[in-house]
Amino acid sequence: MIDRSEIENNVTPEQLAKRTLIPQEKKTKKRRSSVKGIIYTLLILTAVICFIPFLMMLVNATRSNDAILTGFTLIPGTALMENYRTMMEYVNIWNGFKNSLIISVLVTLLTGYFSALTAYGFAFYTFKGKNFLFVFMLVMMMVPGQLGLIGFYELCKNLGILDTFIPLIVPAVASPFVVFFLRQYIQTTLHPSLIEAARIDGASELRIFHTVAIPIMMPAVATMSIFTFIGSWNNYIMPLVILFSPEKYTLPVLMGFLKGSQVAQNLGSMYLGIAISVVPIMIAFLFLSKYIVNSISAGAVKE
């Protein structure tokens, strides 16, 4: 028997297990470590499966087309520069990189700032129709992006902004999910008395937002910004529909273009093109992985 006070003293299940299983402890310990070994092997195998396509990509990016056609090895080749030259002859991948970066950075900034502004407006002012507007926004949040695709294309055509970055950037001002997330966040973290104090000090409403609300919201804005950036960076269907000129293509669209171009004749160059689009994200992930993982966990549990 285990007496109650022990449980209340935060005894871990592990310790409890030890106590209850004392007679077989030696046996189970031995068995346990071999089971552990098997599990680790399987985990590492899974990790290798996760990583091997990237490894194949990196190795093949350094090999010539002929070498790739004859067989696969994990030994890097020497054709890296040659592959690079072949690729750049047809497709300027750095241009796609630049375009993706411009769009994603601006989208992230616009989403962060205007979502914070809207969330603040919803959270700290009372006005007619507020609840209706908020609920309406939540309903629209459920609507998948593809629903309005054709109308969006027509709208851009009539506004004369097809084949520009405007339709890819400006709509970021209205991001219902981010507004929703930030409103929930600021309602629990910013006390109205703080705003009152700032008002008494004579600060204007916009100034209060900039100097009081924004700093408090920053952690939540940063979390959302990561996902906004990734989402915008990976967006494929919108730029595919909106952009026509190859020099304006974003990286994902350029990948599709790569497939249909002369580069596809040279597999080494293809792999290199893909690698260039992938490696920067992997490096960024190396530094941000902990933060990203925590953000995903937080986002899921809160809902």
Contacts of 289 (CB under 8 A, 6+ apart): none
**Nearer CB in complex with another protein: 72/94:** 72
Site for another protein in 105-134 (CB under 8 A): 114-115, 117-118, 120-122, 124-127, 130, 133
Q: Is 76 helix (H, G, I), strand (E, B) or coil?
A: coil
Cα separation, 4 vs 120, whole angstroms: 49
39 touches another protein by CB under 8 A: yes
Window 73-92: contact mask with another protein (x via CB under 8 A) = --------------------
What is the C-alpha radius of gyration for the chain, rounded to an integer number of angstroms?
Answer: 27
Look up residue 183 and give its two tokens.
């409103």
Is 236 a binder of another protein (CB under 8 A)? yes
Site size toward another protein (CB under 8 A) is 100
**Which residues inside 173-232 make contact with another protein, applying CB under 8 A?**
173-174, 176, 179, 199, 205, 209, 230
The residues, any chain, with a CB within 8 Å of residue 72's CB and separated by 6 or more, are: 56
Residue type for 263, please?
V
- Spatial separation of the C-alpha atoms in residues 43 and 29, rounded to whole Å: 21
Q: What's the min distance (Å) between Cβ of 44 and another protein? A: 9
At which residue do the structure tokens 């339709």 appear? 167
Instruction: Select 89 or 196, whichever has its Cβ closest to another protein.
Output: 196
Determine the interface stretch with another protein among 54-62, 79-87, 185-193, 214-222 (rule: CB under 8 A).
54-62
- Binding another protein (rule: CB under 8 A), the pick from 22, 75, 200, 300 is 300
Residues 283, 104: Cα–Cα separation, whole Å: 17
Ranges within 254-273 binding another protein (CB under 8 A): 255-256, 258-259, 267, 270-271
Distance CA 204, CA 91 (A): 51
Q: Applying CB under 8 A, which of residues 9, 12, 188, 193 lies at the interface with another protein?
A: 12
User: Token digits for 234?
Assistant: 């990976």
CB 234, CB 281: distance < 8 Å: no
Between 145 and 174, how does the x/- string for binding to another protein read (CB under 8 A)?
Answer: xxxxxxxxxxx-----------x--xx-xx
Contact present, 175 and 115 (Cβ < 8 Å): yes
Q: Residue 72 Cβ, how far from another protein at the closest point, in Å? A: 4
Nearer to another protein, 151 or 188 (CB): 151
Which residue in 112, 186, 233, 266 binds another protein (CB under 8 A)?
233
For residue 187, the one-letter residue type is Q
Residue type, 152: F
- Indicate the residue among 81 and 237 with the shorter CB distance to another protein: 237
Region from 76-84, 85-93, 216-224, 251-259 binding another protein, contact rule CB under 8 A:
251-259
Nearest approach, Cβ of 181 to another protein (angstroms)?
A: 14
Residue entry with tokens 């981010």: 178
- Alpha carbon 170 to its chain's center: 19
Closest CB to another protein among residues 85, 199: 199
Q: Which is nearer to another protein, 42 or 218 (CB)?
A: 42
Helix 176-189, helix 93-124: angle, nearest 10: 50
Choosing from 16, 45, 194, 197, the residue that interacts with another protein (CB under 8 A) is: 16
Angstrom CA distances, 95 to 62, 71, 98, 101, 249, stand at 22, 32, 5, 10, 8
